[in-house]
Amino acid sequence: MSSSSTQRNHRKSDNTVGVIWVTAGTALFTVVFASGKFAGDTASALQILFIRYIGGFATLTAIAIMGGKGLKFYASTKPASHFFRAIFGAFGGASAIYAAANMPIADATTIGLLEAIFTVLLGVLLLGDRISRPHWSAISISCAGAAVMMASKGAFQTVTATYLWPAGIALLGAILIACESIMIKVLAVSEKPMTVLLYVNAFGIVLLSIPAILTWRSTELYDNLQFLLLGPLAITAQYFVIKGFRVADVSVLGPVSYTWIVFAAILGYVLFDETPGVGTIVGAVIIVIGGIKLALLKPTQD
């Protein structure tokens, strides 16, 4: 086998590995994002996110100390990049939360799913990703599956003037999350995974402290301890995503985010007795097909 053929097969394998890592991370994040539903009126979404960041940072600090290296070993030479990544993630997430609270959730989710398209476009414009015809086909299939699922949930059945502001915020959130994906790719290939995780959790605490306090609801210590446990789960999910972005192009991994609504449907069925309709099942199958095509993509360059 020629060295060129070996390189192509290796890169194809990288796409598969990257998609698997990010899919696993997305599955774990689905549980984290469902924490608001588990909590009910016990705590605000920003409060849960803030406490989750504290739990994550505490876990990472313990790992660094027990590993004998300490936090200084993971110091970055470009903290500003981590800060901007944290800003994109924190305020992108806050935008999604605001939109979901002020417009139909199905509509807010649908707009948020544009994040995958923005990620692909930014990957092409900023990182030089090349997209082949099979790649566009895989992206289109994933988008079609997401559209079928959201249409089955009644997205965009009622649009009013008051609807436009939260819709704009949802769109802004999608753009910010796409920007975060680009930053994750850049940092994932140049920094240690632990460094990336430590900085995003530390900056997350700083950025969300005031919004969390302003929306804080009186909770029992037991409730807050449960939210702290989301930290280890979230950093595991973040680690999986970073591993994926280290080996595959962002334009390949962007559409993998659509698997979130598949996992959400599964979680709803298992834990909340939410029986999926035909549209949800069909859309989920289409998304899975698109994900498989992304994982099996051949490299566009020798």
Q: Where are the domains of the chain?
A: 3-295
Q: Supply the DSSP symbol for 9.
A: H
Average pLDDT score over residue span 204-223: 84
Confidence check: pLDDT of 161 > 80: no
Inform me whether the pLDDT recorded for 218 exceeds 60: yes
Assess whether pLDDT exceeds 60 at residue 300. Answer: no
**What's the token pair of residue 220?**
């029992």
pLDDT band for position 80 (cuts 50, 70, 90): very high
pLDDT over 80 (residue 10)? no
* pLDDT at position 159 over 70: no
Amino acid at 14: D
Map residue 129 onto helix, strand or coil: coil
Mean pLDDT of 161-170: 79
Token representation of residue 193? 């995974």
Query: b or e along 86-108 (b: 16 or more beta carbons within 10 Å of the residue's beta carbon)?
Result: bbbbbbbbbbbbbbbeebbebbb
Between 54 and 29, residue with greater pLDDT: 54
CB 293 within 8 A of CB 287: no
Question: Across all residues in the chain, what is the average pLDDT?
Answer: 82
Residue 291's alpha-carbon distances to 79, 273, 295, in angstroms, are 33, 26, 6
- Residues 2-25: what's their mean pLDDT? 69
Residue with tokens 């992206």: 139
Eight-class DSSP state of 218:
-
State residue 210's pLDDT score: 92
- Buried b / exposed e along 172-191 (16+ C-beta atoms within 10 A): bbbbbbbbbbbbbbbbbeeb
Q: Is the pLDDT of residue 167 over 80?
A: yes
Instruction: Please name which of 241, 289, 276 lies closest in space to residue 30, comparing C-alpha atoms.
Output: 241
Burial status of residue 67 (CB atoms within 10 A of its CB: 0-12, 13-18, 19 or more): exposed
Question: Higher model confidence: residue 13 or residue 57?
Answer: 57
> CA dist 169 to 126, 161, 192, Å?
24, 14, 33
Portion of the chain with pLDDT greater than 90, in percent = 20
**From 130-139, 223-232, 255-264, 293-302, the region with the lowest mean pLDDT:** 293-302
Question: Would the pLDDT of 192 be above 80?
Answer: yes
Q: How many helices (H) and strands (E) does the chain have?
A: 14, 0
Taking alpha carbons only, the member of 231, 289, 234, 208 closest to residue 62 is 231
Mean pLDDT of 2-15: 54
Q: How far is residue 36's CA from residue 145's CA, in Å, rounded to a whole number?
A: 26
The residue written with tokens 């996110």 in the block is 49
Give the DSSP letter of residue 224. H
- Per-residue confidence at 36, pLDDT binned at 50, 70, 90? low
Q: Amino acid letter at 69?
A: K
CA 88 to centroid of chain Cα atoms: 12
What is the per-residue DSSP string for 181-225?
A: HHHHHHHHTTS-HHHHHHHHHHHHHHHHHHHHHHT-----HHHHH
When comparing pLDDT for 51 and 275, which is higher?
51
Cβ contact 19:248 at 8 Å: yes
Question: Among all chains, which residue has been given the structure tokens 């549209």?
Answer: 279
Q: Enter the pTM of the model.
A: 0.80
Query: Lowest-pLDDT range, 8-12, 58-62, 161-165, 276-280?
Result: 8-12
Residue 220 has pLDDT above 90, yes or no: no
